[in-house]
Amino acid sequence: MLEDAVNFTIVLFGANSDLAVRKLYPSLYQLARWGHLPGAYRIIGVSRNDLSHKEYRLQVGEKIRSFSPGTIDDEVHFAAFSGRLFHVKVDLERIEGYYRLQKEIMDVAGEPGVCSHLLFYLSTPPALAPLIVRNLREAGLGGKGMSCTGWRKIIVEKPYGSDLKTAGELNTVIGSVFNEDQIFRIDHYLGKETVQNILVFRFSNGIFEPLWNRHHIAGVEITIAENFGIRDRGAFYEKAGLLRDIIQNHGLQLLASVAMEPPVDLSADAVRDEKAKVLRSIRLVTPETVDRSVVLGQYEGYRREKQVDPGSRTETFAAVRFLVDNWRWKGVPFLIRAGKSLAETVTEIVITFACPPQNFFGPAESCSYTANQVILRIQPEETIAIRFGVKRPGESVITDPVYMRFDYRDSFSQPGMTPYHRLLLDALDGNQMNFIRQDSVEYSWAIIDAIRNCMAGRMPDVYPAGSWGPPEAGGLKGAI
């Protein structure tokens, strides 16, 4: 339940979008079903379609049933939820629609607070965000200098801009209509239980933190792999590519969570200050270092995907070796590798510790066979493993690696909350800890822009679908 359970309205731009249909409606329905929403709330879907409220309600019901079967487990509850859905037709380029929206928002009788607390959710292509916020301001719906009481917030989906320049421009526009504490830049990875746990794992245990630095850690490897291609997102991928789709946000946020200093407290800004400092410390790739730091790939068959240029040079795989130039991490490689159409779907972070100074035991070649590791598996399994060496039973004294493993499923009953459940509740509650602040967005873009500039015009290495990407990526591991 929201801490301060005030009634509110969510205005969903992109009422028909894939995200709305697959994630937002099911999450909102479930939050209502589980009793997390207040007595009165409204969800106003905005699209260019001419739909009555009734038609929209039917449509949302159908979509939830077809995309998330089993979600609607109680028709009475669903009918109550459905009655809170409304639709407004808006041609995003024309101001009239926004005035209609304003009227619909204000048009509530006997439900205090519903029209004074507003959350705008932009589930729309990124390029439309400036237009929408300008028109919201024009229609008196902006967050800055509003005359009535109540809160106004805006959630903006990733990608936030497409490079440093556009992210800055976007912020100037949004920042002229909403204050920073009203802007929620969403990266759904930050709503994952196992990602939120990184902070807790690191800072609630005494045994790891003293070792969590360049003196004891040889390297960190972050993998975000998917065993499927770009599906029907050819048009988006051609513009984005994997560096912008995954590394700029999910990848660098994971890195920041592993590398950050302890925050002074658990306030949103204290945590985000530390993450921003890590991103700011990442050394930018240069033409001199790019070849030993970056491998880009494209899966075989990508050029035959729908809406993809047959001569496309877009990357669907990236492996990047980052260095974090600060006292804690100087010289420790952080490898992020992510890709589409790889051998497996898995996200994990492997922290490999330095070898003992002398290795007495076989196999003697290298200790990397048994080097201690902490393995944070983000998904699909939600586990933490610690690797260490033990004597292989038998006459010879040989070390073998073994694992001590914790699995969320064994220790906790699943609460069923997904990232969108959590982040919607956080946004309604006004908690920005797991939303990205503008400075972090910009540091991350600077990192990605540097890579993209150095790689401009190059054809990524083609790799077979179902493999682990171009073999050259293995060469980036270095000391890890």
Residues of this chain that interact with ligand BG6 (CB under 6 A) are 188, 226, 245
CB 254 within 8 A of CB 195: yes
Looking at the Cβ atoms of 89 and 188, the one nearer to ligand BG6 is: 188
Q: Which of the following is catalytic: 87, 117, 250, 421?
A: 250
Looking at the Cβ atoms of 135 and 347, the one nearer to ligand BG6 is: 347
Looking at the Cβ atoms of 179 and 418, the one nearer to ligand BG6 is: 418
| Residue 188 falls in the annotated catalytic set | no
DSSP codes of every residue in 402-470: EEEEEEHHHHS------HHHHHHHHHHHT--TTSB-HHHHHHHHHHHHHHHHHHTTPPPEEE-TTB-S-
Contacts (Cβ under 8 Å, ≥6 apart) of 294? 285, 318, 319, 320, 321, 451, 454, 455, 476
Instruction: Tell me how far, at minimum, the Cβ of 378 lies from ligand BG6, in Å.
Output: 8
Instruction: Tell me how far, at minimum, the Cβ of 299 lies from ligand BG6, in Å.
Output: 13
The residue whose Cβ lies closest to ligand BG6 is: 245
| Residue 379 structure tokens | 């998904």
Q: Give the chain's length.
A: 480
Apex 17 CA angle, 255 and 340, nearest 5: 40
Looking at the Cβ atoms of 97 and 251, the one nearer to ligand BG6 is: 251
The rounded distance, in Å, linking the Cα atoms of 160 and 153 is 16
**Residue 65 one-letter amino acid:** R
| Residue 418 structure tokens | 């997904």
Instruction: Tell me how far, at minimum, the Cβ of 123 lies from ligand BG6, in Å.
Output: 13
Looking at the Cβ atoms of 380 and 478, the one nearer to ligand BG6 is: 380
Contacts (Cβ under 8 Å, ≥6 apart) of 302? 229, 230, 308, 312, 314, 316, 340, 341
Residues with active-site annotation? 250
